[in-house]
Each structure stands twice: as C-alpha cells, then as structure tokens.
Amino acid sequence: MNWKERFPQFEPGLIELIEKEAVQRSFNAGDVIMRTGQYIKSTALVLEGRVKIYRENQDGGEFLMYYLLPGQACAVSMICAIQTHTSEVMAVAEEDSEVLMIPVHLMDDMMNQYKTWYQFVIQTYRNRFDELLSVVDNIAFRNMDERLEFYLKRYAEKTGKKSMDISHQQIADDLNSSREVISRLLKKMEQRNLVKLHRNMIELT
C-alpha cells in the first residue's frame, strides 16, 4: 500500500514535503525501532505491521504501554523530537513492519505550516492519552485476573484476531508479573470458558 493511502487527510504541500524528506524503513518482528535513552532523530509513522511501545525499569523489566497500528504515529517520538529529549520508552516491531521516518528538524515547520499535520499530532496525543488513562485505571483499580482479561481483550482489538500466538512469558513481561501467575490465571479463565488454551496460542471465546 502506498503510504499516502494510510494518511489521506494530509494536504498536498505536506505530502510533497514528506515524499522529499522522509525515509521508509522495514523492520522484522523483534527488531528494536527506538531504545530507551536514545536521542530521537525521526518521528515514526506506521504503514504496515504492529509496533509495541513499553517502559523498562532499572532491573530490565518491561511494562506494555500501547500498540501502534498502521496509520498511527508514536506520540512519544513526537514529544521528544520537538523538545530534543531522549526517549523514555522502547519501540519494538511485534511483527514485520513498514515505518515512515520523518526527520525531527522538520517538526516545527510542519506544525506551523500544515494544518493537517497539526491536527494529526493533536489527535495522536489525544488517542495515546486516552489509552494511557485506561492503562492507569487498569493498574490502579483492578486485580491481576482483571488486568489479564483487559490485556487479552485489548490485544485482540488491536490485532483483529481472537486467536493470539503469544506466550505466557510475553504476557507476564507486559504485565510485569511472572509466567507462573499468568499461566495459573489463564487456566482459571479457561475453566470459566473465557479462553481456550492451545500450544503457543490463546483463543478468546
């Protein structure tokens, strides 16, 4: 798919600038797109695939923040790019992905000159803020079994699949828990007919 079809709202002048300055890159599943502590040189727009954004703690633990899908952009990279800060999150391609990288030195001019880019950035911030509120509510007010159910439903919504080829360890990493706890809770969910467990696959019923 041509990248312009992913962003049909962009005005002609903005499209011309992006075509001139941006670089399209391919990432394999598992590739790191952005590291914690790295200076941001580009803002990433996802064209194909799925990208996971997560925080790392000092012990190397991970906590899932949100996913980026085709047609979406990383709000964190936009903020860091504008303010010349280092990244405070990791971005990893969860499946083979195509990403459009726009150099950060263009951000100020794009915000000032192109209304469609300004609106896109504001909407991106709003969407991520709403999603992070859901995550905070999930952490603060739910038990681990409720958090797991929320995680699986959210994963299914983002991928469009009810059958998820995701390991118990990966879920544990994303929820900052242990594989044993996740496996036990998944077994309980299966007993309640909420999921079916297969080898290396979880199916929402």
Q: Residue 100: is its pLDDT beyond 70?
A: yes
Q: Are residues 151 and 129 part of one domain? A: no
Q: Are residues 150 and 84 part of one domain? A: no
Q: What is the per-residue pLDDT for 14?
A: 95
How distant, in Å, are the alpha carbons of 50, 148, 150 from that of 185? 26, 8, 13
Which CATH number do you get for residue 129?
A: 2.60.120.10
Q: Are residues 40 and 124 part of one domain? A: yes
* Angle value at C-alpha 130, between 57 and 4, nearest 5 degrees: 100
Q: What is the per-residue pLDDT for 178?
A: 86
Q: What is the per-residue pLDDT for 76?
A: 76
Across all residues in the chain, what is the average pLDDT? 86
Question: Among 3-12, 17-26, 137-146, 180-189, which stretch is predicted with the lowest mean pLDDT?
Answer: 137-146
Contact 79, 85 (CB under 8 A): yes
Q: Which of 139, 162, 184 is the last residue of a domain?
A: 139
Our count of domains for the chain comes to 2
Separation of alpha carbons 202 and 195, rounded Å: 7
Residues 6-37: tens digit of each pLDDT: 999 999 999 999 999 999 999 999 999 988 88
Q: Are residues 86 and 44 part of one domain? A: yes
The contacts of residue 64 (CB under 8 Å, 6+ apart) are: 52, 53, 54, 135, 151, 174, 175
CA 124 to mean position of chain CA atoms: 12
Backbone angles phi, psi at 119, to 5 degrees: -65, -40
Q: Residue 105: is its pLDDT beyond 70?
A: yes
Question: Among 44-48, 84-88, 102-106, 123-127, which stretch is predicted with the lowest mean pLDDT?
Answer: 84-88
Q: Are residues 154 and 130 part of one domain? A: no
Collapse the DSSP code of 202 into the 3-class scheme (helix H, G, I; strand E, B; otherwise coil) and give the result.
strand
How distant, in Å, are the alpha carbons of 15, 78, 108, 148, 154 from that of 104? 16, 8, 8, 37, 31
Question: Among 58-67, 93-102, 105-114, 159-168, which stretch is predicted with the lowest mean pLDDT?
Answer: 58-67
Q: What is the per-residue pLDDT for 24?
A: 95
Task: Give mean pLDDT, residues 185-202.
Answer: 88
Q: Are residues 131 and 59 part of one domain? A: yes
Q: Are residues 164 and 131 part of one domain? A: no
Q: Residue 143: is its pLDDT beyond 90?
A: no
Task: Give mean pLDDT, residues 156-183.
Answer: 85
Of residues 62 and 185, more confidence is placed in 185
Q: Residue 124: is its pLDDT beyond 80?
A: yes
Q: What is the per-residue pLDDT for 1?
A: 66
Residue-range definition of the domain harbouring residue 106: 3-139
Of residues 77 and 204, more confidence is placed in 204
Residues 33-57: tens digit of each pLDDT: 988 888 888 889 999 999 998 887 7
Q: Which of 114, 139, 164 is the last residue of a domain?
A: 139
Beta strands (DSSP E) in 70-175 are 90-93, 97-103, 163-164
Q: Are residues 176 and 111 part of one domain? A: no
Q: Residue 115: is its pLDDT beyond 90?
A: yes
Q: Are residues 112 and 150 part of one domain? A: no
Taking Cα atoms as reference points, which of 20, 80, 23 lies closest to residue 47?
A: 23
Q: Are residues 128 and 56 part of one domain? A: yes
Q: Are residues 120 and 172 part of one domain? A: no
Which CATH number do you get for residue 192?
A: 1.10.10.10
Q: Are residues 131 and 147 part of one domain? A: no
